[in-house]
Structure 1
Amino acid sequence: MMSIKRGNVVRILDKLDGRTDVLVNVNGKLEKAINYDFLTGQIHKNHEIILNTTAVDLNLGTGGYHFVIYNLNNEDEQMKQGGHIMKMRYTPFQIKVFAAEEQESPYHELFNGFKSLNNMPVIIGTLHSMLAPISATLKYLNPDVKIAFIMTDGAALPIYLSNSVQELRVKNIIDVTITLGHAFGGDYEVINIYNGLIAAKEVCKCDVAIVTMGPGIVGTGTKFGFTGIEQGNIIDAVNDLGGIPISVPRITFRDKRARHYGISHHSITTLGMISKTRSHIVIPLFSTEKNKIIEKQIIDGNLADKHHIINVRENVLLKALNRYDLGVKSMGRDLNEDPEFFITCSSAAMYAHTLIKEESID
């Protein structure tokens, strides 16, 4: 069960799109909390609130924030009109959204009439931290490219939690957001990955889509026990719909866990066993020693037999990050501490850019 405490709002710390960060007095101690305005309404100083403190009590990675369950000063919040699709169904927190594909939607017939993604590149990551280097590289290479971010429900459900998405939207790097499954808060809500991809192409008219979960991947140290395994199913969905799946492998030489050294076991399992169809895997060229480790992992995992392996030598990531004044971090490590991880993400974007250029020439 969850850990619940009562508190009083002392100060508004930050007001973001769909989210308000507050400082709360909890039993005489000042603690931070996140209020999702879409769920629990507007929040102000001196409001009395009920908090879910479970993650902080367990010292989990939520940035030290509690989450507002209920605002005792907002007793009569009314639902907005339109839509009947429930997310987080049959829980005390179920919410109604207006899904892009439902019958009353002006886009309903676009989904019924859909035929193909027509080779739209779809970059499929596993960690949310892949989003910034991928999207920044795409926009650096072509400022006019229209990018959709499709967020799955493999981790955080509210898109509002992502500071990265907030920043990428403000800087006009990501053009549109789509949330699927039980994830919510995107510009467009959809039921599943298939309609998420169709929405990116037909509703949003995007040139490229990036698919990752929100912040907070779950892993157990077992072969199949991690939420990033969804990458395999997404590859198949992209192929089913006539797109070009570009898989981003998780590569690092800074993780102390042997199972994540070089190409992570997450990527080897997902790309080697879970995906049933072919994707494009972009591998940057590093030092000779690191390249040999990666080459052996590709051979041992039979990845080259199943997928197209593309090697990329050059990289523009640092230029892209500097242009947009962006910092990147994954698992607590920044670009200097884990360059291979972020360069791999950027290389996938560089390859996608070549496909977009070829499509525009045709």
Structure 2
Amino acid sequence: MLKLRRGIVLSVLAPEGGWQRLTAEVDGEPRPAVADVGTVGECADGDEVVVNVEARDLALGSGGFDVVHVNLTRGLDGESLPGAHVMKLNYSPLQHAVRPVEERDDTAPGDAATDALDDLPLRAPVAVFPLHGHLAPVAWALGQARPGTRVGYVQTAGGALPGAMSGTVRELLERGLLAGHTTAGAAYGGRDEAITTAGAIHDGIAAQGWEVALVGPGPGILGSGSALGHGGIVGLDSAHAALALGCRTVLVARMSAGDPRPRHQGLSHHTRTVLELLLAPVTVPVPIGATDPGFAVARKRGHVVHEAHAELDGYAASGLPARTMGRSLDQDRPFFAAALAAGATLGGMLP
């Protein structure tokens, strides 16, 4: 069962791009909470709410707050999006209708069922990254290498599902380092919605004019410590979708020198596993001079390990997010260097 509790809103901060932070009293204890305004509406002081307390009670690193499930005071008169009939989070208690990008064509249903295939191959570069912390350095380095490039972000499963939760995405959009944000599959709440990752990539490149697509999860990551039971494995499906669409596909390497877990030191097992399971070769950018036994394994499987410059000092001065898993850029330089090398590599792949 969902771990739901009643609470009273004690204080509310202004919404941040559709995500509202608040404090709610639950069982006599003030607790931090968040409300996804796009799905449950805004909260105000004194509102009676029902919150999901599971993540905070489990002390999850990316879930140190309760989540408003429903506002009993002002959240029971919502209306669906007019004309929408495709469901996100379908048949869960949070199902809601959206208008997906795959329905952009105005022809009668069925007439354009194969139109997207006429655009293939797309050939544009697509970078698949395993952690949301890679998004900003990849986008920044790409912007430095090729200013003005139209770059879109496809948010997948593997981390947080609400598109409004990421302050990084809002800042990248405001700075012009991203031109679009589409939430695909179970993820929801982006500027655009897609039923599938393949549909999101195709629409972004073929319809919205993205020159590069960055594909990866929202904030946080799922994990069990096993080879296949982690959010990074979603990158396998994302890379296959990009390859099938004819895109030049880049896999951003997860690397670390500061993670205390041996499986993530050097080239993370998340990246190694995806490289071993991929059915076709991809490009794996790495910082100049980086060494790891996993690179040799990648080359043996036909992948292209491409060395590129990582402008760490420039990124540190950019003001963009520079922490991962609680560690600063100086505490885990390889993590950011690998992402910056990927952005530089993408810039070199453009005409």
Q: TM-score range by the shorter chain?
A: over 0.9
Partner of 1:128: 132
Q: Distance in 1 between matches of 2:108 and 2:324?
A: 36
Instruction: State the shift of 1:127 in Å.
Output: 0.7
Q: Could you tell me which amino acid in structure 1 is paired with residue 278 of structure 2?
A: S
Partner of 2:317: 322
Which deviates further from its counterpart, 124-133 or 62-71? 62-71
Q: Could you tell me which amino acid in structure 1 is paired with residue 100 of structure 2?
A: A
Q: Give 3-state SS (helix, strand or coil) of 1:129's partner.
A: helix
On the 8 A contact 2:149/2:211 being kept in 1, the answer is: yes
Q: Could you tell me which amino acid in structure 2 is paired with residue 183 of structure 1?
A: A
Instruction: State the shift of 1:2 in Å.
Output: 2.5
Q: Distance in 1 between matches of 2:106 and 2:253?
A: 36
| 2:277 is aligned with 1:280 | no
Q: Distance in 1 between matches of 2:15 and 2:181?
A: 20
Distance 1:159 1:34, change over 3 A: same
Measured against aligned partners, the alpha-carbon deviations of 1:103-139 in whole angstroms (never above 9, x if no partner) come to: 7768995972442253211011011111011111112
Measured against aligned partners, the alpha-carbon deviations of 1:4-47 in whole angstroms (never above 9, x if no partner) come to: 22111122123111211112222332221111111111222221
Partner of 1:70: 70
Partner of 2:295: 298
On the 8 A contact 1:100/1:107 being kept in 2, the answer is: no
Q: Distance in 1 between matches of 2:122 and 2:58?
A: 47
Once the two structures are aligned, what percentage of the paired residues are identical?
28
Partner of 1:43: 43
Partner of 2:90: 89
Instruction: State the shift of 1:144 in Å.
Output: 0.7
Which deviates further from its counterpart, 336-345 or 32-41? 32-41
Partner of 2:335: 341
Equivalent positions of 1:17-56 (< 5 A) are: 17-56=17-56
Partner of 1:8: 8
Q: Give 3-state SS (helix, strand or coil) of 1:16's partner.
A: coil
On the 8 A contact 1:101/1:111 being kept in 2, the answer is: no
The number of residue pairs the alignment matches comes to 347
Structure 2 gap segments, 5+ residues each: none
Q: Distance in 2 between matches of 1:90 and 1:342?
A: 39
Q: Give 3-state SS (helix, strand or coil) of 1:201's partner.
A: helix
Partner of 2:236: 232
Equivalent positions of 1:138-149 (< 5 A) are: 138-149=142-153
Of residues 252, 255, 279, the one that matches 1:251 is: 255
Q: Could you tell me which amino acid in structure 1 is paired with residue 314 of structure 2?
A: K
Partner of 2:264: 260
Q: Distance in 2 between matches of 1:10 and 1:258?
A: 43
Instruction: State the shift of 1:63 in Å.
Output: 4.7
Instruction: State the shift of 1:264 in Å.
Output: 1.0
Q: Distance in 1 between matches of 2:288 and 2:306?
A: 10
Distance 1:107 1:251, change over 3 A: farther
Q: Could you tell me which amino acid in structure 2 is paired with residue 282 of structure 1?
A: P
On the 8 A contact 1:162/1:214 being kept in 2, the answer is: yes
Q: Distance in 2 between matches of 1:168 and 1:144?
A: 13
Q: Distance in 1 between matches of 2:92 and 2:181?
A: 25
On the 8 A contact 1:120/1:207 being kept in 2, the answer is: yes
On the 8 A contact 2:126/2:242 being kept in 1, the answer is: yes
On the 8 A contact 2:163/2:190 being kept in 1, the answer is: yes
Of residues 179, 184, 187, the one that matches 2:191 is: 187
On the 8 A contact 1:245/1:280 being kept in 2, the answer is: yes
Q: Give 3-state SS (helix, strand or coil) of 1:211's partner.
A: strand
Partner of 2:305: 309
Q: Distance in 1 between matches of 2:143 and 2:44?
A: 37
Distance 1:146 1:157, change over 3 A: same
Q: Distance in 2 between matches of 1:119 and 1:100?
A: 20
Measured against aligned partners, the alpha-carbon deviations of 1:70-95 in whole angstroms (never above 9, x if no partner) come to: 11112211112022111111111111
Distance 1:102 1:349, change over 3 A: same
Q: Give 3-state SS (helix, strand or coil) of 2:100's partner.
A: coil
On the 8 A contact 1:239/1:245 being kept in 2, the answer is: yes
Q: Distance in 2 between matches of 1:66 and 1:37?
A: 14
Q: Distance in 1 between matches of 2:36 and 2:207?
A: 27
Instruction: State the shift of 1:163 in Å.
Output: 2.1
Could you state the TM-score of these two structures normalised by the residue count of structure 2? 0.93
Show structure 1 runs of 4+ deviating over 3 A.
Answer: 103-111, 302-305
Of residues 154, 178, 181, the one that matches 1:174 is: 178
